[in-house]
Structure 1
Amino acid sequence: MSASPRIAVVLKGYPRLSETFIAQELLALERRGLALEIWSLRRPTDAARHPMHAAIRARPVYLPEYLYQEPLRVLRGLAAALRRPRLPALLGQFARDLARDPSASRLRRLGQALVLARELPDTVTHLHVHFLHTPGSVARYAGLLTGRGWSFSAHAKDIWTTPDWELREKLAAAAWGVTCTRDGLARLDALGPGRTALAYHGLDLSRFPAPPPPRPPRDGRDPGAPLRLLCVGRLVAKKGHDDLLDALAALPPDLHWRLDLIGGGELRAELEARAGASGLAGRVTFRGALAQPAVVAAMREADLFVLPTKPAPGGDRDGLPNVLMEAASQELPILATAFAGTPEFLVDGAHGVLVPPGESAALATALTRLAAEPALRRRLAAAARACLVRDFSEAAGIDLIAGRLAASAGLPMPERERTACAS
């Protein structure tokens, strides 16, 4: 009897602490009975792992991150490609892409695609890729060479930094795609109308504890009980940590607070220097990248969650950060910016407080107000969690993706997972 069809999921890097939404999706798809393989363009750089990564059955296969590191593997991929009838079509597409993007990265994606095409088992009948930029190129080239269909999940950076011509052609070539915000969907629909569906990541509430008991009504007036602020996000420009530090430096001197900043990234040294120059070093703790249990524990101890995302130089921007939903799961009040997908989850004044992106003065004003009003924080946090439970569980998005993947791979339609959400 022949083996059941499998789905290859192509990722830029795996596992990654910052991509809990991908791990959550992989685990949910496996629980719906889909057989997955994970193919990653890069090896992990995070020392820690989320518990979800251990629960995912599929073990990652790593493509050559740089072609010179595994020349024999690349040559075997090339030799196999020379025997495939679809090679001329691939080379034609690659030549057109290279003319518009004459980069080493483009050559590397071709080499990775050749390896992927050779090493994919015959049981793999469909490819699905997370992120439309470089991973999308690898999946597209491998699919074109082998005759397999491919689909995509687009998220944030890939939508906003990939050139229009490339997005337009990938949207036309893919069997189907999803994205996680209406903001991103609008851009993709403008380039390829009707090719992409909206599928919020949502949150699997069964993985999270019930909210903690009501938090103490700290308001920052007592130096012995400072307001506990928390920010979780990679230390990159689009997260707006520089605006947060500037806002904290502008707070009234008699407002007592502490900030825990969780996340690793390229801007850590710069942000630590900024905090020191602003006289904040003693009140800001850089905790680095942490696994999800430690993040949730920090959320349960905090009084206010702050995430001031904004557009980065070059156009990179967030989608709908899952960490906002994680904060809401713990009834942690949220102060964020009215940017990207955040307003699709939080309504200003109803579920949290939203300020314009890039405006540290507005952020400071909102921080001062929320510090002084513990009752307002409690009301907003309770409303955000109610919205999360009602409208942003993971089930609807996973049902859509699982159904489409099953149809594309030639598998029976999966049943919905029957798990109860924490209440």
Structure 2
Amino acid sequence: MPQRPHSQTPEKPRPASRAGDPNRYQDMKFAYVMSRFPKISETFVLYEILALMEKGIRVEVFPLIRERQPVAHEGVKQVMPHVHYLPMFSAAILLAHIYFLFRKPLTYLGLLLEMMIGSIRSPKYFTKSVALFPKIVRFAYEMKQLGIGHIHAHFATHPAFAGYVIHKLTGIPYSFTAHGSDIHKHLHRYGLARKVAAADFVRTISDYNKAFIVEHCGGRFEEKIEMIHCGIDKQVFASPPHHPRETHPFTIICVASYEKVKGHAYLIEACRKLKAQGVDFRCHLVGDGPLREAVGQEIRDAGLGDNFIIHGPLKREQVAELLQQSDVKVLPSFQTETGEREGIPVALMEAMAVELPVVSSLVSGIPELVEQDAAGILVAQQDAEGLFQALLRLQRDPELRRRMGKAGREKVFREFDLKENAAELLELLVLSASRSGSH
């Protein structure tokens, strides 16, 4: 596993801006490929697309699976006219396969063989690849007809595989963003080097991820791997935050999908210890996921039913309101036995933007965001006692909470600006499209 010092990441020089050139992005079309859209837990993709659209870029969105969620963030309506959904199979899909089979028979058949060999070690991954391959080929045909200049995939799993296939069939350059478990989970590493090799560039959201890819795929790819953080929209968080610092009870918030990797079990145990210590507290859990019912049962079994408020997925505005009412943000993520782990959670950035101190884990890229004892407290993975001690320390020291909160806001405003980071990504997309002459 790659190691890096847990210290503040030095700022990278930004590319020279040519935002004043009104013709710079004229007629440029980019495609974004992702597993699902809109997905409540992947708002960072939505806001990145919106930031590119603000620059005048035409972005077409190609989700591999249609997402139907009851809650959608503001901004989704603006993107929806550019979203291309497909059924699992149709006459149009069949025609696309016939088209490429006759136009590029060796490439088409070679991709089929690669798909089968590359994912056969995991029946689940193989089944999903086979199920998605028909519509990926249709996406290739549609992108060719639209005159797409560059394809960017979010996540190194099936979206990057889709970008790879479309690139091979059409010659359109592609890139992908590697986040967290999409490269670290053991079964997702199969074929990673092949996807990296074919990509025009690879964007990682942390130095930790860049080191991991170089270690796993080879140093020859280091030059094409660009570290560009995700970020928050500073305009959304421009108003000075206000927290009820002297009110009771002590209020904790955890915004995270209900999945094993998020570590809810350790937060529950830490809160059980808080209650045993006589601390009057409330803990808001916000999110959705497969373990939602199980987490609720754990809370009841621990005798904490009166201390926890379990929310489903909420809109950004509702989350912001809860953050303003809270004293500390907690995210006890850890590395699972299959290698699954975080990237740099945007939920932590948003909490820091409203001057909440954070308590999280010393895992993956989190220390690049949260400097120890500056913007928050980092504890060892799976350490309920460490979480308890960190929460108790913050509960007893309002001035420490205030100081850490201010430091966190300064950090995210300085280094995790969504629009600045999206502009840096845009420079790479434009350069790739320009080199290939495909825009």
Q: Same fold (TM over 0.5)?
A: yes
Matched letter for residue 193 of structure 2 = R
Between the two proteins, the alignment pairs up a number of residues equal to: 398
2:234 is aligned, of 205, 212, 216, to: 205
1:391 is aligned, of 393, 396, 415, to: 415
C-alpha displacement of 1:332: 1.3
1:80 is aligned, of 87, 96, 99, to: 99
Any gaps of 5 or more consecutive residues in structure 2?
A: 1-25, 121-125
d(CA) in 1 for partners of 2:424, 2:408? 24
C-alpha displacement of 1:76: 2.0
* 1:256 matched to 2:280: yes
Equivalent residues of 2:119, 2:190 under 8 A apart: no
Which residue number in structure 1 is paired with residue 304 of structure 2? Answer: 280
Give the match's secondary structure for 2:414.
helix
* 1:180 matched to 2:201: no
C-alpha displacement of 1:180: 0.4
How is 1:24-423 mapped onto 2 (pairs within 5 angstroms)?
24-56=47-79, 59-64=82-87, 67=88, 70-85=89-104, 87-102=105-120, 103-120=126-143, 121-161=145-185, 162-190=187-215, 191=217, 192-218=221-247, 225-251=248-274, 252-410=276-434
Matched letter for residue 265 of structure 1 = G
Change (3 A) 1:16 1:388: same
Which residue number in structure 2 is paired with residue 419 of structure 1? Answer: none
Equivalent residues of 1:6, 1:124 under 8 A apart: yes
Equivalent residues of 2:149, 2:172 under 8 A apart: yes
d(CA) in 1 for partners of 2:134, 2:251? 49
Any gaps of 5 or more consecutive residues in structure 1?
A: 219-224, 412-423
Which residue number in structure 1 is paired with residue 19 of structure 2? Answer: none
Most deviating of 250-259 and 35-44: 250-259
d(CA) in 2 for partners of 1:125, 1:84? 20
Give the match's secondary structure for 2:400.
helix
C-alpha displacement of 1:165: 4.4
Give the match's secondary structure for 2:229.
coil
Most deviating of 118-127 and 32-41: 118-127
Change (3 A) 1:39 1:240: same
Give the match's secondary structure for 1:208.
coil
Give the match's secondary structure for 1:215.
coil
d(CA) in 1 for partners of 2:405, 2:378? 13
d(CA) in 1 for partners of 2:322, 2:138? 42
Matched letter for residue 304 of structure 2 = L
C-alpha displacement of 1:391: 2.1
d(CA) in 1 for partners of 2:243, 2:174? 47
Equivalent residues of 1:6, 1:409 under 8 A apart: no
Give the match's secondary structure for 2:223.
coil
d(CA) in 2 for partners of 1:57, 1:100? 33
Give the match's secondary structure for 1:17.
coil
Per the normalisation by structure 1, the TM-score is 0.90
* Identity fraction in percent: 28
C-alpha displacement of 1:336: 1.1
Equivalent residues of 2:357, 2:405 under 8 A apart: yes
